[in-house]
Amino acid sequence: MRSNDRSSGAAPGAEDVAEAAGVSPSTVSRCFASPHQVRPETRARVLAAAERLGYRPSRIARSLAEGRTRTLGLIVPDIANPFFAVIVKAVQARARRKDYAVFLADTDEHPDDEYELALTLARQVDGLLLVAPRMDGARLGEVVRQVPSVAVNRSVSGVPSVVAPSEDGLRQAVAHLHALGHRHLALILGARNSWSSEQRGHAVRYAAEQLELKVTEFGPHEPKFHTGAQVADLALAAGATAIVAHNDLMALGVLSRLAERGVRVPDDVSVVGADDTLLATTATPALTSVRIPLDALGERAVDLMLRRLDDPSRVPEELLLDSELIVRRSTGPAPRKES
């Protein structure tokens, strides 16, 4: 019972195909690796035999021999979060088109797991895509040294990254609200140490300042539905006529609480979300939101990675994508002052 026992259910190897086609295993290998290096006639014979036997080269063995796995590692904080899910989907699709497989790791928002996972994956993938890495600089450096990495949605000096700053979109949002007559807006911040929350906070503050809009800030808060709901009352009490939330989820919390209180959106209060996830489109009323080109983020991350892989001399670069405001029904003219 040797390996070239074609009658058994075991997967056929290159050797089996070689025998069936009357060539050497080397030739079989070449037929798949560099088809043009083998005479068309021979190739046809080999391919036929392979087809007949249902032969597929073992990626494992190939990886070991080639020294590369044709696999990308993807580390995400939370796949169940629609924001990340879209990125994952894009990465996955892009990678597959390039004949790369994807190892998925969900850290469930635990930065420690992130590091540990990165190290584990480092050995078995050609490159690592770190989505919104929470890792501290030192550890990130350690990881980056071990395996080609690309940071997604978080710019880290010295690490190639692809980022879609929400600034553009938020600036547009503030301008939008200003144009609608709003003069006082509430800003709901995200998580305490979140890089993106800080970026977003800055963007709104700055834009508001330019337009001489008053801003009342709330947070930092865990970016959850219920915190949004909680803050809604505070924002109202503060007298804001428009509420800009850190993300769609929080904005939905706001929407929900306002509805409960009978406050009309957008007649009484306007609400803006961010990320433009599925949640924004399916909300009632549909949520005006800052769209981050998530699919592009994922695709470009893969492209950047692959480009680096076949020319490692390339310098780390940072890729910026534009965000934009998508106006929907949750924003409208500011209510007239009831003086």
CB of 314 to DNA, least distance (A): 21
Interface residues for DNA in 45-64 (CB under 7 A)?
55, 57-58, 60-62, 64
The Cβ of residue 52 has, within 10 Å, a number of other Cβ atoms equal to: 12
**Which residue from 44, 179, 234, 278 is in contact with a second copy, where contact means CB under 8 A?**
278
**Binding-site partner at residue 101 among DNA, a second copy, none, CB < 5 to 8 Å by type:** a second copy
Interface residues for DNA in 279-318 (CB under 7 A)?
none
Spatial separation of the C-alpha atoms in residues 117 and 102, rounded to whole Å:
14
Interface residues for DNA in 65-104 (CB under 7 A)?
65-67
**Which residue from 4, 42, 89, 168 is in contact with a second copy, where contact means CB under 8 A?**
89
Which phi and psi angles does 315 have, rounded to 5°? -75, 145
Residue 24 binds to DNA (criterion: CB under 7 A): yes
Helix spans in the chain (H): 14-21, 25-33, 40-53, 59-66, 82-97, 111-122, 137-146, 167-179, 195-210, 225-238, 248-261, 278-282, 294-310
Nearer to DNA, 22 or 239 (CB): 22
Q: CA 271, 273, 279 angle in degrees (round to 5)?
A: 110
CB of 20 to DNA, least distance (A): 12
Residue 108 binds to a second copy (criterion: CB under 8 A): yes
Which residue, among 138, 125, 144, has the nearest Cα to 74 in the 3D structure? 125
**Which residue from 2, 7, 34, 80 is in contact with a second copy, where contact means CB under 8 A?**
80
Give the binding-site size for a second copy (rule: CB under 8 A): 52
Per CB under 7 A, the segment of 40-48, 147-155, 189-197, 217-225 that binds DNA is 40-48
Half-sphere exposure of 179 (CA within 13 A, CB side): 8
Residue 43 binds to DNA (criterion: CB under 7 A): yes
The Cβ of residue 214 has, within 10 Å, a number of other Cβ atoms equal to: 14
SS3 call for 95: helix
Residue 138 binds to a second copy (criterion: CB under 8 A): no
Half-sphere exposure of 286 (CA within 13 A, CB side): 10
C-alpha distance from residue 71 to each of 174, 177, 314 (Å): 42, 45, 20
Spatial separation of the C-alpha atoms in residues 323 and 171, rounded to whole Å:
10
Token pair of 223 as six digits: 């970016």
Nearer to a second copy, 139 or 178 (CB): 139
Which residues lie near a second copy (CB under 8 A)? 9, 11, 56, 58-61, 63-64, 69, 74, 78-80, 82, 85-86, 88-89, 92-93, 96, 101-106, 108, 119-124, 145-146, 225, 249, 252-253, 255-256, 259, 278-279, 281-286
Which residues lie near DNA (CB under 7 A)? 3, 13-15, 22-30, 32-34, 37-39, 41-43, 55, 57-58, 60-62, 64-67
